[in-house]
Amino acid sequence: MIRSSLLALTIAAAALAGAASAQTFTPLDPKTIDDWRAVDLGAGVSLDVPRAVGEAYRPTDKADTGLALFRVSVKDAGDMYCGLDRLAYNAQPLGMNRNRALDFLTNAAQGIFCHGVGSGVRENFAQAAASQQGYPGSRCVASYTDRQGDKSEGDVIHARVVVAPDAVYVLTCTVRDQDQARAETDWETIWRPRITHVEDSLKLP
C-alpha cells in the first residue's frame, strides 16, 4: 500500500512539470514583484498570485485537473512555476483516508513531493508544518538537475502539503535556471520569501 502510494504521488508531482511547460509565461518587474492579489478558486479555496499574472492562473491544459497553475520570471533570477492540486481521500492518486494520510504525509513521507524528480538530488529539508489555518501538513525543499535529452537545467522544488478536513492540498513551486547551483541561489535570494507568501495566503474550507 505504501509503495503504491509513493509511486502514485511521485507521478502526480512529476506531471506538474509537464503541465507548467504549456502555461502562459509572465515576466515580473522587480519593482512590483510583491504586488499580489487573492483569487477565488471555488469551493472555499483561495490563493494569492502575482497581480501581473492576470487571469493566467488556471491550467491551460484542459487535461490538468489542478486548481491553479502560474509561471513567472524575474530577469537574472530564473523562473518559477507554482501549482495547487487537490487530492481527494479514498481515491487515486492519494488512495487513503484522512487518518492514514495524516500519518503518511506528516510523519512517514514528509518529503514525498520532493522525491524522484531528477538527478543529483540535494535535500534542503523535509518537516512537519501546520498551515496558517492550523491544519496539519508538511513541507519540503530539494534541488536537482533535470535532463531532457542532451539538455539539462537546475531546479529547486518547494512543496507544501496540507491535510485539510475535505482533502489533501499540495502547493508545489519550482524554481528553474541554467544549472542546479544557480537555481539554488535564485530560490534562496529571490523566490523563497515569495513562495512563503503564497503558502501563507492559501485559504481552505
3 state SS for the chain: CHHHHHHHHHHHHHHHHHHHCCCCEEECCHHHCCCEEEEEEECCEEEEEEHHHCCCCCCCCCCCCCCEEEEEECCCCCEEEEEEEEEECCCCCCCCCHHHHHHHHHHHCCCHHHCCCCEEEEEEEEEECCCCCCCCEEEEEEEEEEEECCEEEEEEEEEEEEECCCEEEEEEEEEEECCHHHHHHHHHHHHHHHHHHHHHHCECC
Is residue 155 within 8 A of residue 50, CB to CB? The reply is: no
pTM here is 0.89
% residues pLDDT > 70 (the chain): 85
- Parent domain of 188: 2-201
The count of domains in the chain is 1
Instruction: Using the predicted structure, report yes or no on whether residue 180 has a pLDDT greater than 60.
Output: yes
Question: 35-72: per-residue pLDDT in tens?
Answer: 999 999 999 999 999 999 999 998 766 555 689 999 99
| pLDDT average, residue stretch 150-166 | 93
Q: What is the pLDDT of residue 201?
A: 97
Q: Is the pLDDT higher at 21 or at 2? A: 21
93-151 residue pLDDT tens = 888 999 999 999 999 989 988 876 678 889 899 999 999 999 999 999 999 998 777 78
- Return the pLDDT at 166: 96
Phi/psi class of residue 174: alpha, beta or left (left: φ > 0; alpha: ψ in -120 to 50)? beta
Averaged over 75-82, what is the pLDDT? 92
pLDDT of 167: 96
* Percentage with pLDDT > 90 across the chain: 69
Q: Which of 78-87, 116-125, 131-140, 163-172 is predicted with the least confidence, judged by mean pLDDT?
A: 116-125
